[in-house]
Homo-oligomer: A and B are copies of this chain.
Amino acid sequence: MPVQFDPGPAVTELVRRTEHLIQDVVLPIELAHQGSAHDASEDVRRQLQDAAREAKVFAPHVDTEFGGLGLDMRDRAPVFEAAGYSLFGPLALNCAAPDEGNMHLLEKIATSQQKERFLRPLAAGDVRSCFAMTEPVPGAGSDPSALATTAQRTSAGWLLNGRKWFITGAHNAGFAIVMARTSGEPGSRGGATMFLVDAGAPGFQHVRNIDTLDESMFGGHSELALDNIEVGHDAILGELDRGFEYAQVRLGPARTTHCMRWLGTARRAADLAAERAATRQAFGGRLGDLGMVQQLLADNEIDIEASRTLILKTCWDLDTGAPAGHITSITKTFVAEAVNRVVDRALQICGALGVSGDAALSRLYREVRPFRIYDGPSETHRWSIGRRIVRRALTRLEARP
């Protein structure tokens, strides 16, 4: 069986349905809110998700046992890209971050009871969730070993204390997956454990919505205070002290699905610019007939095509269980930067219109920038890629006669 790129008719049809949903339902709603979730209520989310259910494209990544379509990573790629064409598309399909990554993690690690209690309503769109790992300075950020939030053993279970920061989707989330230190000290790696915490638990405080460049994520990015939250042993997700390891289980696919969604955004920006170039007159001709504009358009296409194929290769590795830390770092770094380049070029082609709110580009420009930072800044990924290359070179050299 040779290399092949055709996702097959079923997925192709799913993509087509998603594209129609985005064009007919999601984009109009997004544009009405200027791409910002700030003033978009839960009603908007329900409206979007109802439409996705009706179009039979809801929860494509979720196991059929929990009401989803059960797609593997490779099949998700074109569907998520189609969803990402609108900033609100992933929410409509219930495959937006951080919920999508949390569903993945729960599918992999949660007990049956935990799945019933947390995964089922999440997969159904009844609640949203958040993933509470990042902390304010000097806590866990790019360097997870700085984790400062603690879980102390009590007679009845565990007592959580700490402060979390930039927790996406936390506002009005139903529950959180909280990463807390169960051994070692900040700075040492030690042991971290994940806890499932109901957002209504006493001591779970939503401190504030952080004002950010991007505004399209439902629930925003929040600062949380965890103040003597009591949880039972059944709140532990997976096993004690394996939190850092599970974070990788979550992050590899989560980074890749991020890439899929943002690639859709990049494609939209490229389409807007191409349409502008095809119709706007300038200097006695069509804007799109000018060489420098053709170059911007071509570079967008190159970036998009390279991103798409890299994503598929990464999905293949993830689906087949190949070690994927290296390739997910490569793909995340490339795609995050490519997406930013594409949107930047698209905005440039559209000129003053591009920086105005009259086109969507100024919004897209704001939304994609943080992706070069979220889920590991490019520098952190390059550092880990670089270190692996050096290790491999040493292995190679040692193997030589």
Task: Give the interface of A toward B (CB within 8 A).
Answer: 1-8, 34, 72, 74-75, 77, 134, 137-138, 141-143, 146, 165-166, 187, 210-214, 221, 270-271, 274-275, 277-284, 286, 288-295, 297-302, 305-306, 309-310, 312-313, 315-317, 319-320, 326-327, 330-331, 333-334, 347-348, 351-358, 362, 365-366, 369-370, 372-374, 377-379, 381-383, 385-387, 389-390, 392-394, 396-397
Contacts and interface: CB of A to CB of B under 8 A. Distances in A.
Interface of A, secondary structure class, is helix
Nearest to A77: B3
B212 A386 contact: no
B291 A294 contact: yes
Given A138-B281, A142-B282, A302-B333, 8 more contacts: A3-B7, A210-B357, A212-B355, A212-B362, A292-B379, A302-B334, A305-B310, A352-B374
A114 to B, nearest CB: 29
A380 to B, nearest CB: 9
A394 to B, nearest CB: 5
Nearest to A351: B373
B365 A313 contact: no
Given A212-B362, A294-B292, A352-B141, A3 B74 contact: yes
Contact of A212 (B317, B356, B369): B356
Contact of A298 (B210, B213, B382): B382
Interface core residue of A72, A326, A370 (most chain B CB under 10 Å): A370
Contacts of A165: 352
B310 A330 contact: no
Contacts of A334: 302, 305-306
A293 B390 CA distance: 10
A238 to B, nearest CB: 26
Nearest to A388: B301
A382 B299 contact: yes
A111 to B, nearest CB: 30
A310 B306 contact: yes
B2 A75 contact: yes
A166 B352 CA distance: 7
